[in-house]
Structure 1
Amino acid sequence: MRSGGSRLVLAVMLLAMPLLPACSSTSSDPDTASDIKLQSLIAGPQRSEKNTRRDVYRHPYETLTFFGLRDDMTVVEIDPGSGAWWTEILAPYLRDHGQYYAAGPAADDTSAEAVSNRGGFAAKLASNPALYDKVKVTEFAGDRHDIAPPGTADMVLTFRNLHNWIADGSAEANLNAFYRALKPGGILGIEDHRGRADQPQDPEAASGYVREDYAIALVEKAGFKFVAESEVNANPKDTKDYPAGVWTLPPTLRLKDKDRAKYLAIGESDRFTLKFVKPQ
């Protein structure tokens, strides 16, 4: 009887043992801490109200976690723009343990848009040195410049830019620059307006829409391997047949007040979110 009681006690102890490490390690799990940090910054006061209003369409947490972002990474964002939508999240998130590169218009680009973006972004960084003092600004102009030292980036991210590069013929050179910057095994994350699969791809992407299969083939041609796609930024209300292309929809609303309520009800565009890797 004493032997049976001992076996019962031992069994209870063995069942309990696996639970102890799991319970004791949860609070110090680096992935959990990084995840909490990301959520906190997305909800943080450093973000402008104008930017946070678009979270319902841009899903920053779901998008960044799909790409596999960690706070110890070296990350390059392409064309952050003067509004620095992602910079408000990425720069403070990566500040202490990683590195954030903002690859903006090259210094010799004197177009009005480039001048405005450079000036607006510089003002954004200067507005809060405690958050943005470690941001490294680099030049982005096809493969003429290094967006980061070659082979050092863990991740390159670009949001709603691919259609522009298809239109101006710079997609191949830009993808080459991304490939050069990334480490083997590094991630390329791309989000853009998803075109209709039942229509051929316009080689100039005049409407702003890009077929998902076309985008994947284009990126794979540059040497990347397709990993996965996410529907987090999908919008089934988007019919993709508007008089001013994707810019008919918010946030641009190019038609101004014509059918404004209709387009606001649709919301922002249907978008693919694609993850690629630079092969080892």
Structure 2
Amino acid sequence: MRISKLKIVSFTLLSVLICIEIAFAKDKTYWPSFDCPPLFMYNSSGERSGLGNTLNEYIQNMLPSDTHINAIGSPVKRLLDAKSGKNIVITGIVKTTEREKYLYYSKYPCMVSWSIVAVIRKEDKNKFTSNGKFSLYTNLNNTNNIFSYMKGIYYGKLLNIIKETNSKNHGVAAFDTIDQINLLLHNRIDFFFADPLVAYYTHQDDIKKSNIEFIECLELPVTPIYRYYATPKTKWGEVMIRKIDAILEDMICSGRLETLVKNWTPDNFKKKLEKAYQNDITDKVLCD
């Protein structure tokens, strides 16, 4: 069978275009985020703000040769994308042994958050608290209580407590913090758990402020949790995380990172932040 020269040329041209498209696709860097104040925040027009978005914007500007795509994605999807080797940068993730199997972490933390608090309806404060504290064992052991969680979020020691109580089958999955708040305000759940900074910023809305309260957990005192940048364990990911490391180191030495983190930290946490930041970030970087 004879194939015309025109067909051969057309096929060759199509192949070249496909290769070019694949090459460009590989050069794109995806930065997924989800609504989780103050890490990631979005207004009704879709404009981005928050510590994570601000950090990402700065780093992206420092890497002008890369094509950056800011995308909305659930916490669990960003982990699945990383496992599949997609060119993504995960912002503000907590280190775990399981995640280390498929992620490169930044050398330094990019932000400091805190162990979880319980978020409840204000009208239920007396029902769920004792001496101003929320008992995880008491409230999770009550099978009448329904709580919410987000897949892909690391809850630390809370996971062990959930396994030890009768609550394993009483959890409702939510997409993001806003989803959890809506479930709470519509009486679909009784409480959920969040980083105190998330709870604080969520609490600023007037409607939420009058209806929601966040309570320290009796069994889990508030302690610092360090969050990192992460990339997939691919050649691309290894190169990208080293670029991010260099930028973070410069930000730490110049004081820019501390200023950014402080800007998104409530006043009642700033002293705790200064101590944690000094001990576990500043003191571990050799600056000129």
TM-score, normalised relative to structure 2: 0.29
TM-score, normalised relative to structure 1: 0.30
Structure ranking higher on relative contact order (CA contacts 8 Å, 6+ apart): 2
